[in-house]
C-alpha cells in the first residue's frame, strides 16, 4: 500500500479544513492521541496521566487537544476554554525538548452550530494527525481519549504492541472502568454510574450470548484506529453524539474491530450535558428525575435467539417457511424492515453460507439491533429491568453456577463483570 497516496487522497477529499500556525515538533510519532476539549477548564490531569504512561514505557507520542466551542457560545465557555489552553501550554512547557512526547492544542471557538460537537472535534484532531503522518509517509495509530479521563500506566505501550502484533486489526475497543470515587463525586452519582456501566457491559454480554459479530463496546474515550484504516474507511463523522458508536461499527462492518483488554481507560462519572446522550447525560437525567438506571429486558434477546441461530435455514429456505418458528414481535419487526428483500439480496451476492452470514450481519447490524431492542420494548411491552435482575437471568441462560452471590450489591456485581471483560475470549 502506498501510504502517502492513500493519505493524500483522503486529505484532498474528506479532511476537515482548519488553519494551524504552530510548527509541530519532528518526533516521528507512533501514536497520536486526540482529545476533544469543550468547556472543561484545567485539563492537566489527563495530560499527566498520559505522560506517566510515556515515562513507564516510552512510545513516541503526540497529543492533540482540540479546544472547541460553537459559534455564539457564552462567556463562561470561552473562559473555561482559555483555561484549558493555558493548562496545555503550561504542561507542554515542562517537557524536555528532546522528549518523544509532545502536547499541543488547536483552538476553534467558532465552530458552525450545525456541526459543532464532539464528532467534529474528534474529526478535526484525527485529520490533523493524518496530515502529520502523511509527511512521514508512515503508518501510525490514532487514539481517541476524553479530557476528563485517565489512563493506565501501560496504556501507550499496550496500544503500540497490540497493533504491531495484530496487523489485520483495523480498530480497537479499549477496556474501560469508570472512576468510582465516592469522596469526589458523591454516593448518588457513584451508585448511578455503577448501574449505568453494568447496563453497558450486560448489553454487550447478551450480544455475545447471541453470537453477534459486533459485540464490542463503543466508548469515545476508549478506542483507537490504525491510520491507514481510518482514511480508507472515510474518517470520523461529525455527529454531535453517538459519533463513537457509528465510527467503530463502521470498521466492524467493513473490516476488523478487536478488544484491547490488557490496559484500561478510566472515564469520569461526572454529570454532563455537553452531548444529547451518553454517560454524563444519562447519570444527570437519572439523578434529576430520581429514577433508577435500567437495562434491556433479557427477553429482548431470548426472543431473538431462535432467529440468529437459524441463519443456515434462512440461507436454504424461504422466509415464509421458517418464520412460524419465531416470536410474533420478532416477525413483526423483521417484516417491517423488509427481511425478505434483505435475505434475497444476501443470497444473490454470496457464493456460500459464510458470505451470506457476513452480509446478513451487515444488514442486521448494531444500529438495527438497537432499533429492534426499542421496538420490542415500546411495542412488545418488554419493559426495561434493573441491571442486577438482567445479570441474574444471564447467569441462568449461560448455565453459570459458580458465580457471585446474587444478593451482592451492584458494585460487587460490576467488579465481577469487569474482571470477566478483562479476560480473553471469556463470556458468561
CATH of the domain at 247: 3.90.550.10
pLDDT at 105: 95
In tens, the pLDDT along 150-171 reads: 999 999 999 999 999 999 999 9
Of 102-111, 281-290, 351-360, least confident by mean pLDDT is: 281-290
pLDDT at 277: 60
Integer Cα distance of 221 and 346 in angstroms = 35
pLDDT average, residue stretch 339-359: 96
Average pLDDT of every residue of the chain: 91
Residue 419's pLDDT band (cuts 50, 70, 90): very high
Burial class (CB in 10 A: 0-12, 13-18, 19+), 413: buried
Q: Which of the 8 DSSP states describes residue 188? A: H
Q: How far is CA 39 from CA 42, 79, 253, in A?
A: 10, 8, 34
pLDDT at 97: 76
- CA-nearest of 143, 118, 129, 123 to 224 is 143
Residues 276 and 352 in one domain: no
Residues 115 and 235 in one domain: yes
Residues 245 and 328 in one domain: no
pLDDT at 370: 96
In tens, the pLDDT along 260-311 reads: 999 999 999 876 666 556 666 777 777 777 788 899 999 999 999 999 999 9
Whether 403 shows a pLDDT value over 70: the answer reads: no
Residue 385's pLDDT band (cuts 50, 70, 90): very high
| Diameter of the chain measured on Cα atoms | 71
Helix axis angle, 118-136 to 3-13, nearest 10°: 140
Burial class (CB in 10 A: 0-12, 13-18, 19+), 144: buried
Whether 92 shows a pLDDT value over 90: the answer reads: yes
Residues 21 and 110 in one domain: yes
Chosen domain end from 234, 262, 289: 289
The pTM of this model reads: 0.93
pLDDT average, residue stretch 328-340: 97
Chosen domain end from 266, 289, 312: 289
Integer Cα distance of 257 and 259 in angstroms = 7
Q: Are 111 and 69 in contact (CB under 8 A)?
A: yes
pLDDT at 34: 98
Residues 284 and 370 in one domain: no
| 40 φ, ψ (degrees, to nearest 5) | -100, -40
Q: How far is CA 29 from CA 64, 98, 99, 339, in A?
A: 12, 13, 11, 47
Whether 414 shows a pLDDT value over 70: the answer reads: yes
Could you tell me if residue 175 is inside a domain? yes
Tally the domains of the chain: 2
Cell 507512533 identifies what position?
Answer: 30
Residues 349 and 279 in one domain: no
What range does the domain containing 310 cover? 299-378
Residues 111 and 17 in one domain: yes
Residue 2's pLDDT band (cuts 50, 70, 90): confident
Amino acid at each position: 500500500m502506498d501510504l502517502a497516496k492513500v493519505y493524500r487522497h483522503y486529505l484532498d477529499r474528506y479532511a476537515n479544513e482548519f488553519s494551524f500556525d504552530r510548527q509541530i515538533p519532528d518526533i516521528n510519532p507512533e501514536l497520536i492521541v486526540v482529545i476533544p476539549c469543550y468547556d472543561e477548564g484545567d485539563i492537566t490531569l489527563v495530560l499527566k496521566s498520559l505522560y506517566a504512561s510515556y515515562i513507564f514505557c516510552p512510545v513516541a507520542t503526540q497529543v492533540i487537544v482540540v479546544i472547541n466551542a460553537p459559534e455564539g457560545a457564552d462567556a463562561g465557555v470561552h473562559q473555561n476554554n482559555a483555561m484549558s489552553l493555558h493548562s496545555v501550554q503550561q504542561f507542554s512547557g515542562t517537557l524536555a525538548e528532546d522528549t518523544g512526547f509532545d502536547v499541543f492544542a488547536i483552538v476553534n471557538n467558532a465552530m458552525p452550530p450545525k456541526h459543532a460537537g464532539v464528532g467534529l472535534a474528534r474529526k478535526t484532531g484525527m485529520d490533523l494527525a493524518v496530515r502529520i503522518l502523511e509527511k512521514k509517509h508512515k503508518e501510525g495509530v490514532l487514539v481517541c481519549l476524553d479530557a476528563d479521563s485517565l489512563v493506565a500506566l501501560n496504556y501507550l505501550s499496550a496500544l503500540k504492541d497490540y497493533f504491531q502484533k495484530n496487523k489485520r486489526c483495523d480498530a480497537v475497543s479499549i477496556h474501560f472502568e469508570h472512576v468510582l470515587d465516592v469522596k469526589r463525586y458523591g454516593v448518588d452519582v457513584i451508585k448511578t454510574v455503577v448501574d449505568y456501566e453494568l447496563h453497558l457491559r450486560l448489553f454487550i454480554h447478551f450480544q455475545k450470548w447471541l453470537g453477534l459479530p459486533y459485540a464490542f463496546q463503543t466508548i469515545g474515550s476508549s478506542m483507537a484506529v490504525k491510520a491507514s484504516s481510518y482514511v480508507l474507511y472515510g474518517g470520523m463523522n461529525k455527529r454531535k453524539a453517538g459519533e463513537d458508536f457509528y465510527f467503530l461499527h463502521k470498521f466492524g462492518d467493513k473490516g476488523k474491530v478487536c478488544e484491547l483488554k490488557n490496559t484500561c481507560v478510566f472515564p469520569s462519572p461526572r454529570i454532563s450535558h455537553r452531548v444529547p446522550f451518553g454517560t454524563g447525560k444519562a447519570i444527570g437525567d437519572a439523578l434529576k428525575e430520581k429514577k433508577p438506571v435500567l437495562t434491556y429486558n433479557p427477553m429482548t434477546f431470548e426472543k431473538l435467539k431462535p432467529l440468529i441461530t437459524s441463519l443456515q435455514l434462512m440461507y436454504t429456505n424461504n422466509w415464509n417457511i421458517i418464520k412460524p418458528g419465531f416470536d410474533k414481535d420478532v416477525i413483526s419487526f423483521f417484516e417491517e424492515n423488509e427481511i425478505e428483500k434483505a435475505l434475497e439480496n444476501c443470497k444473490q451476492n454470496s457464493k456460500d453460507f459464510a458470505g451470506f452470514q457476513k452480509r446478513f450481519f451487515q444488514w442486521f447490524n448494531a444500529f438495527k439491533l438497537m432499533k429492534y431492542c426499542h421496538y420490542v420494548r415500546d411495542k412488545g411491552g418488554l419493559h426495561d429491568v434493573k441491571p442486577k435482575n438482567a445479570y441474574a437471568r444471564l447467569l441462568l441462560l449461560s448455565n453459570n453456577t459458580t458465580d457471585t452471590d446474587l444478593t451482592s450489591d451492584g458494585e460487587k456485581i460490576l467488579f465481577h463483570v469487569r474482571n470477566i471483560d478483562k479476560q480473553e475470549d471469556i463470556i458468561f
